[in-house]
Amino acid sequence: MTVMDSLKHQLEESTGNDYNCCYQCGKCTAGCPAGAFMDNPPARIMRLVQANYIEDAMKSDALWFCVGCMTCTARCPQNMDIAATMDSLRALALEKDIVSENRAKKLVNAFHTSFLNNVRKHGRLEELSLVNSYKLRTRSFLQDAQSGVKMIMNGKIKPLHTLTGKGSVKGKEQIARIFEASVKESHLRVPKRRPIKKEFIPRAPFSIKPGMTIGYYPGCSLSGTAREFDISVRKMCSLLDLKLQEIEDWNCCGATSAHATNHKLAVLLPARNQALADAQGLELVLAPCAACQNRQVTTRKTLMDSPELREDVQTITGIELTCKAEFIGVTQLLEAMDPEEIKKRVKKPLTGLNLACYYGCLLIRPMEDMGFDDPENPLKMEAIMTALGATPVNWAFKIECCGAGLTLAQQPLIEELTHTIAKNAADNGAEAFVVACPLCQANLDMRQGSMRKRFGDVKEMPVYYISELVAIACGADPSEVAVGEHFVPALDLVSKR
């Protein structure tokens, strides 16, 4: 077996793909939001692997423009996991040091390295420390300086936490063991994928009633730059008579950076949270961040399918996993309540507010794991907004990717993607966005100023968290849920209701 044959076999094992099944229909490239930035867009990457040009695929710039949205995988008629191919090629390229020399690789890899080093040290992401490390690696000292000052003044970034380690995980020895285990040979086996007819089968909604206590996994962003999401979630739950019990000593799920560079690490980090939630006897855990929820949901499935992995996690944490704790998002929580129960709590209907409900990628993909809503035309967020008196608009980009975690490393790409999204929303009558993800909110809100300056054809559009609008409709003062801390002014639109 040649070296290239061996690498192709590694890809087949890590993705479950039979690359002979790809017939180059091009649907993956047609749907790829970053395809125009790539030297080898997804279909061409698949062809390179298929033809055994693995080294050419590993050197491709495309790996560093991939936003991890999984649109390619979701729409493949042959059930190929194209997104996993991009991730595995990226990890192999780093491992073998066969990588693109494009500046995109330097910037993206600098971000991932800074992110994971930060998690290794603290167990949770210290965002100021992450940004400082990234800027030192890339010499991009002035990027977002003005935004950073505003976030420090709003308390979203806490310099003292970075200096004192106040926000760090207590069980750092477990985090250290996770990183040690992540570089050892993995026994995770990915099921073989075969062409099948994909059909979305929604899972039955949960049942949540007033007075219940549910678990809470805020994740790193809600403890920092997305603190208004945390404030509004807690206020919303209080107004709905729900109690939140935070997972004790939770850690970062690894988010984009672990997922993009080390599959085993991307499973072990959220697996510790699963173990902690199980040990606390939690059965439902609210994870407001879509990326965090996605990583926890997919990890739980992997844990349930792998006794070896559960044994690894038990060795690391000393906890025997039951996998009873299920992680849900804010929209799922609201869906799980009786609609009449929510309606009777509405004191200030959002009448006349035209909203673009923006789902992004990770709330709905992969559909077989998330099982939340129709993967091409989700409508559950619209149903909730309608119940609050708002008017959701009909628009075409509700599931298109905003660029997710590449906001620092690929700002021009983020501006392109968010411009397309905002232009379509505005053209269809929306005056504001509603989102359920801190990454989506940051890209649409924080990057909106530079995007509008660059393109000049989009009006200012506030970007609300779904929890902010629910809390306001149920009687909270807009300033009480920190709406005034957004970059795009958002107070006036909801204060006049």
Read off φ and ψ for residue 104, nearest 5 degrees: -60, -40
Q: Indicate whether 153 pLDDT > 60.
A: yes
> Which pLDDT score, from 0 to 100, does residue 164 have?
57
CA distance to 10, 41, 95, per residue, from 1 (Å): 12, 28, 20
Q: Quick check: 112 and 129 in contact, CB under 8 A?
A: no
What's the rounded mean pLDDT across residues 152-158?
76
pLDDT for 162 beyond 90: no
- The reported pLDDT for the residue numbered 174 is 98
Tell me, what's the pLDDT at 165? 62
Q: What's the confidence (pLDDT) of residue 371?
A: 87
The string over 323-349, giving b where at least 16 C-beta atoms fall within 10 Å of a residue's C-beta and e elsewhere, is bebbbbbbbbbbbbbeeeebeebbebe
Question: CA–CA distance from 388 to each of 161, 244, 466 (Å)?
Answer: 38, 23, 11
Pairwise CA distance, residues 137 & 134, whole Å: 5
- Given pLDDT bands bounded at 50, 70 and 90, which one contains residue 151? confident
pLDDT at 2: 80
Neighbouring residues of 289: CB distance < 8 A, sequence distance ≥ 6 = 218, 219, 221, 222, 226, 229, 437, 438, 439
Report d(CA 406, CA 411) in Å as an integer: 7
pLDDT at 8: 93
**Residue 161: per-residue pLDDT:** 61
For 202-235, write each residue's pLDDT tens digit. Answer: 888 889 999 999 999 999 999 889 999 999 999 9
**DSSP bridge pairs for 243:** 213
**Closest Cα partner for 421 from 371, 467, 455?**
455
By C-alpha distance, which of 205, 219, 207 is closest to 247? 219
- For 155, the 3-state DSSP assignment is coil
- Return the CATH class of domain 3-96: mainly alpha
Hey, what are 476's tokens? 């909270």
CA distance 478 to 468: 8
> What integer is the mean pLDDT of 431-458?
96
Average pLDDT across the chain, whole number: 93
What per-residue confidence (pLDDT) applies to 154?
Answer: 77
Give kind and range of the element (H or E) at residue 432: strand 432-435
User: From 3.40.350.10, 3.40.50.410, 1.20.1050.140, 1.10.10.10, which CATH number describes the 213-331 domain?
Assistant: 1.20.1050.140
Report d(CA 319, CA 313) in Å as an integer. 8
For residue 163, pLDDT beyond 60 = no
Class for domain 342-495, per CATH? Answer: alpha beta
Say whether pLDDT at 33 is over 80.
Answer: yes
| Residue predicted with more confidence, 204 or 241 | 241
Question: ∠155-463-484 over CA atoms, to 5°?
Answer: 40
Report domain extents, the chain: 3-96, 103-182, 213-331, 342-495
Share of the chain above pLDDT 70, in %: 98
254-265 pLDDT, tens digit each:
988 998 999 999
What is the model's pTM?
0.95
**How far is 464 from 483, CA to CA, in rounded Å?**
8
- Residues 357-404 have pLDDT tens digits of 999 999 999 998 998 899 999 999 999 999 999 999 999 999 999 998
Q: Is pLDDT at 38 greater than 90 in this prediction?
A: yes
| pLDDT for the residue numbered 334 | 96
Residue 89 above 90 pLDDT?
A: yes
